[in-house]
Amino acid sequence: MQCHKVDYEILGSEMQIVEVELDPGETVVAEAGAMNYMEDGIEFTAKMGDGSDPEQGFFGKLANAGKRVLTGESIFLTHFTNHAPVKRRVAFAAPYPGKILALDLAKIGSGLICQKDSFLCAALGTKIGIAFQKRLGAGFFGGEGFILEKLEGDGMAFIHAGGHVIKKQLKGESLRVDTGCVVAFTRGIEFDIERAGGLKSMIFGGEGIFLATLRGTGTVLLQSLPFSRLAAEVVAHTGISGKARDEGSAIGGLSRMFESS
């Protein structure tokens, strides 16, 4: 299915929103709860599916909904359609301080792999799937679990990153980063997890036990302020017990189990 060709405008600086302009009959698909406002004539419907395959049956939609549950997202996606005879706008807000990135999937070509919480909205026709981590270590300790989201199509998609966004072009090289700082990468990049140096560095270095390693040829998008880091700073300054770092990894889950026992 060819994606709808939507126009857009990104507003704001630290707390951004993306305002999507829909022609009559056009639709944009968004995560549940992302909508900020919409003009008269736009109607929304919660659906089990992204609408990229109109002929997909009920069980296919149910299977895709189950996959979304694995990523920690809502079972339903919200479809916003312009039923007015003229252009109308609908806006979607970033969940915390950072940047909204407008991505033309037609130019990316091979699709985009992104962290599970970064997707905001996309033109109808965009396939919003999942990408399993092939390596066991990356699944358990990568901060994003076994599953990342996969965006494919030929239209516009919008993702959110915390803080400042850094774009890296790798040409057969490798890049080591904090696991939570990875926002998205193209298909030519291999994602893996490595130890953060020796035992002393792992325990006292303050950079976590593991680092993400990205190798290959393609584009990598990084964020300067992962939500886990923001949450950890808030917790540290409010006196609430617990720690938000590594919240998406198996280590974070194990630590919370011990704290609650």
Q: What is the pLDDT of residue 117?
A: 81
User: Per the domain annotation, does 210 fall within a domain?
Assistant: yes
Q: What is the pLDDT of residue 260?
A: 46
Which strand (E) or helix (H) includes residue 31? Answer: strand 27-31
User: Per the domain annotation, does 239 fall within a domain?
Assistant: no
CA distance 149 to 133: 11
Q: What is the pLDDT of residue 210?
A: 74
Q: What is the pLDDT of residue 200?
A: 53
Q: What CATH number is attached to the domain comprising 67?
A: 3.60.160.10
Higher-confidence position of 196 and 22? 22
User: Per the domain annotation, does 55 fall within a domain?
Assistant: yes
User: Per the domain annotation, does 26 fall within a domain?
Assistant: yes
The phi, psi pair for 5, rounded to 5°, reads -95, 90
Dihedral sign, Cα of residue 134, residue 139, residue 144, residue 149:
positive
To the nearest 10°, report the CA torsion of 253, 256, 258, 259: 170
User: Per the domain annotation, does 247 fall within a domain?
Assistant: no
Q: Is the pLDDT of residue 196 over 70?
A: no
Q: What is the pLDDT of residue 131?
A: 77
Q: What is the pLDDT of residue 95?
A: 85
Q: What range does the domain containing 48 cover?
A: 7-227
Q: What is the pLDDT of residue 137?
A: 52
Q: What is the pLDDT of residue 75?
A: 74
CA distance 177 to 169: 14
| 131-148 b/e (C-beta count within 10 Å ≥ 16 → b) | bebeeeebbbbbbbbbbb
CA distance 14 to 126: 27
CA distance 140 to 160: 24
DSSP secondary structure letter of residue 171:
E
User: Per the domain annotation, does 260 fall within a domain?
Assistant: no
User: Per the domain annotation, does 135 fall within a domain?
Assistant: yes
Q: Are 135 and 192 in contact (CB under 8 A)?
A: yes
Q: Which of these ranges, 23-37, 75-89, 156-170, 242-256, has the smallest mean pLDDT?
A: 242-256
pLDDT in tens, 83-135: 999 999 999 998 888 999 999 999 998 789 998 788 999 999 999 888 765 55
Number of domain units in the chain = 1
Q: Is the pTM of the predicted complex or chain greater than 0.85?
A: no
**CA-angle at 148, arms to 205 and 79, nearest 5°:** 135
User: Per the domain annotation, does 244 fall within a domain?
Assistant: no
Higher-confidence position of 78 and 239? 78
